[in-house]
Structure formats: C-alpha cells, structure tokens
Amino acid sequence: MLEKPNKLRIALICGVAIGTVSAVPGISLINCCCCAGVWLGGVLAMYLYKQQLTEGMPPLESSDALMLGLMSGIIGAFTATVINVVILAIFGPVEQGLMRSIVGKLLDRLVEQGGLQTDMAESMKEQIEQSIRDSGKLSNIFGSLFMTLILYPIFSILGALLGFAIFRPKNPPPTTMVQ
C-alpha cells in the first residue's frame, strides 16, 4: 500500500493562508466572526489533503484532521505575526492611514444603509484607533503571538475536524473505528 502524502506541505499552504487572511488589513475582519478565517483554513487543509490521496493509499482518517489542524494553526499564528510585523515595518503610517480610511468608509456605508447605529460605529472606530496605536509595541507583538499560538491551533483543529466530517470517506475501514 502506498504511503499517505506529506502533511507538512499542506499545513504550510493552509498555515500561510490562515496567516495572510488574519493579518492583511480589511480581510482580517473575517476573524471577527468566531475566527471564521482560521476555521476555513482547517476545512481547506482537509479538502487539499483529500485531493492528494490517490487509489492505493490508506483512506482519510480523523487523526489526519487533528495533525493537519494543529500544524496549520501553529504555522498560521507565526505567519500572521510575521506578516503583521512586515506590514508595520514597510508601510507603517501608510498602512495605518489606509486601514483608518477603509474601515471608516465601511462603517459609514453600514450606518447609511441602516446596518449599524451611529454610536456603535463610533465605538468601533475608537476600538480600531486604539488597536492601531498599540500595534507597534513589542510587548503587543509578543502578546498577540502568544494568544494566537493558543487560539489558532484550537480553531484550526475544529475546522479540520469539521472538514473531516464533511469530506470523510463513506465507508471507513474497520480498523479506524473506535470500539
């Protein structure tokens, strides 16, 4: 029987995807919805891994989901921190201005359309302003890395387990069943 494909390659791809989604301004707002970006990264990892499996290889197992989720989450946490630092170092004030402008326009649009109340939009703007001011501090960078190293693997594993439940083989071999 052929060996299963290497998990590290898939985990790297999905980890970088998680990190990019979580760090790029604007797109990172997706994580405001229960870390949806990280969940989707875990699901994507399972999908890509399933695509790599060919005939003659052992079928997809739930242990693959656990390992892929864990690896993707850890890589994602480091990637997000690195991208954040790079963006901060290269663009710095430009990125902060861009962030202010994008979020400001987005919130104003939501207020105009009635999707958000004015005081709520103001409170959001204040929060974003605060996070922009604090983003450059070294302690904040390490603090954020510490938190993401805990949260991203958890949510990525949950995403990968959900992915396994969606993409699992219809008739798993008896050896994988828990008695």
Partner 1 sequence: MKFVTTKVPQSGLRSKIMAEVSCFLTKMAILTIMTPGVSMERNKRVYTILLLLTALWCCGILLAPALQASHSMGASVVYSAYAPICHQIDGRCFHLFGAKWGVCIRCSAIYFSFFLSLLMYPFFRRLSFPSYPGRRWIALAVVPMIIDVLLNFTGIYPSTPMTRLMTGALFGSVLPLFILPPLLEGIAQLRSQFSARGGFLYARKAQ
Task: State yes or no: residue 179 binds partner 1 (CB under 8 A).
Answer: yes
Q: Specify the stretch interacting with partner 1 by CB under 8 A; choose among 2-10, 82-90, 92-100, 151-159.
A: 151-159
Q: For 108-147, b where at least 16 C-beta lie within 10 A, e where not — what string? A: eeebeeeebeeeebeebeeeeeeebeebeeeeebeebbee
Q: Using CB under 8 A, which residues numbered 61 to 120 contact partner 1?
A: 61-67, 109-110, 112-115, 117, 119-120
The correct pick among 8, 57, 89, 147 for binding partner 1 (CB under 8 A) is 147
Each residue 15-54 as x (binds partner 1 by CB under 8 A) or -, in order, gives ----------------xxxxx-------------------
CB of 118 to partner 1, least distance (A): 10
At residue 96, φ and ψ (nearest 5 deg) are -65, -40
CB of 30 to partner 1, least distance (A): 10
Find out whether 84 and 144 touch, Cβ atoms under 8 Å. Answer: yes
What's the full length of the chain, in residues? 179
Question: How far apart (Å, rounded) are the C-alpha atoms in residues 44 and 34?
Answer: 17
Q: What is the largest CA-CA distance in the chain?
A: 63
Q: Specify the stretch interacting with partner 1 by CB under 8 A; choose among 4-12, 47-55, 59-67, 93-101.
A: 59-67
CB of 63 to partner 1, least distance (A): 4
Question: How far apart (Å, rounded) are the C-alpha atoms in residues 67 and 63?
Answer: 6
Question: How far apart (Å, rounded) are the C-alpha atoms in residues 25 and 96?
Answer: 9
- Please identify, using beta-carbon distances, which residue of 4 and 91 lies nearer to partner 1: 4
Q: Which residues bind partner 1 (CB under 8 A)?
A: 31-35, 61-67, 109-110, 112-115, 117, 119-120, 123-124, 127, 143-144, 147-148, 151, 155, 158, 161-162, 164-166, 168, 176-179
